[in-house]
Every structure is written in structure tokens, then in C-alpha cells.
Amino acid sequence: MTNDRYPKVSIVPASNENEIIRRLPRSEAEIILPRLSAIDLPKGYALARQGETIEYIYFLEDGICSIQSVSTSGERTGVALVGFDGVVPLSSALHITESFHDAIILIAGHGVRLSVRGLQDVAAECPVFVDLLHRFSQNLATQMSYTILTKAADHIPARFARWLLMIHDRLRGEAIPLTHEEIGQALSIRRPTITTTLHLLEGERFIQSDRGQIVILDRERLENFASSTYGTPEAEYVALFPKPLD
């Protein structure tokens, strides 16, 4: 896989900031953690490219990755978001060597990565780890299906609200650092529509937007505004990943 940027990588013990890694039983953690490499994830860094061979799977601890579908003509749209809640790309966890999507860092952060060879080496000894990967695969499929559903409904303000809530769920902080261009690419909407939608949400006092940063002011009301576009994949995630014992 070819990347335009080469972030810093170091061989260090992983923290438990990723929701999959922190759920590993001690016996499996002792096998997997030494195989993980810590990595900085700058904005725009490609974790996977559609049609290219997967070399690593990434467990984000901070930052957000946008999973994007790319047409043969180069048009792209965001279909899912992954942060510290999961792993990307998932294809290799399902014994598929080629990525079906682009996976691009939308908000910079850091994480750890495991080589595909390392994944193959530990799979037989780590059934809980493999089960967690399959659980996240199920939830990611649900998230993608709701992305399709919200786009079919064609109610851009509600779709925008859902997207902001999903980012907020995965963000370690309150300010969402995104430009109009990045929002437009992720949601496949034009800049004038973004401006109009931001003004609508600001007028309702759901959010505050200023100089490439968005802050959610009233999450409860924003969730109500998003209505049925938000909540089902999130409830499924909670069911699939009960809170681990600390």
C-alpha cells in the first residue's frame, strides 16, 4: 500500500485506549501486545486504498478514520466512521487480502497497528480477539446500512446531524476540527448546502461553528433532530461490546 505521508512508527507496548484492545483477556493480550507498533496518524493518511493489498490493520486510540467508497470515475463518499471504537480495515480480519474501500484519517490522532502476517499468526491462539473483530465487522455493516438509509431519505440536515453525533461519539474532546471541503467530501454535499445547513443548526442552538471548528452545544436536542437516522447502530455496538471490567 502506498501512502503520501509516512507517520512516525515505534515498537512500544500498546495502551488500552482502543475498545477492542482493552477487552482482550490477559492471556491473549500477552500474545498480541508485543506484536503491535505505535503509530502517529496525521490527517489525510491512508490506512487502506481501494483495490490495494492490505498490509496492516489499525486500532485507533485517538482520531477518526473515514471509510470511503470510490467510483471508477474517482467520485467518493463517506460510508462509515471508525475511531477508538474499532479497527480498520476489516477485510483482512475476514481473510480478504484486498481493500474494498479507502480508509483515510479525517481527524488526526494516533493508534497501534498489527501486520496481516501477525494477525494470521495469532488468530488460532486468540479466539476472543477474533470474535471481537467479527463483532465489530457486524456493527460496521449496520453503520454502513444506516448511511445508505439516511442518504436515500435525502434529508441533509438530519444526515448532517447524525454525522456530527457520530464524530462526537469517537472524539476525545469537544471541538470538531473540520473544514467545509472535508465535510462536503465526507457527506457528498456542496459547499453552499453545507453553509446553509450549518446556519440552520446554529440557529437552533444545536451547534456553534467558527473557523473550521464545530462544537455541539446541545447534544440531546441534536439527537432528537437527527431522529431515526441516529441510534440503532450505536445501540447495537453497546450490545455487542458490553463494558469491560477495569
The pLDDT tens digits for 61-116 are 999 999 999 988 988 889 999 999 999 998 766 677 889 999 999 999 999 999 99
| Same domain membership, residue 208 and residue 102 | no
Confirm if 228 and 122 have CB atoms less than 8 A apart: no
pLDDT of residue 59: 97
pTM for this one? 0.90
Structural domain total, the chain:
2
CATH number of the domain to which 166 belongs: 1.10.10.10
> Cell 437516522 sits at which residue?
229
Compute the C-alpha angle 15/2/33, nearest 5°: 20
The pLDDT tens digits for 148-176 are 999 888 789 999 999 999 999 999 888 99
Residue 99 lies in a domain: yes
Q: What are the beta bridge partners of residue 64?
A: 107
| Same domain membership, residue 102 and residue 38 | yes
Domain span at residue 186 reads 151-237
**Closest by Cα among 93, 142, 144 to 120:** 93
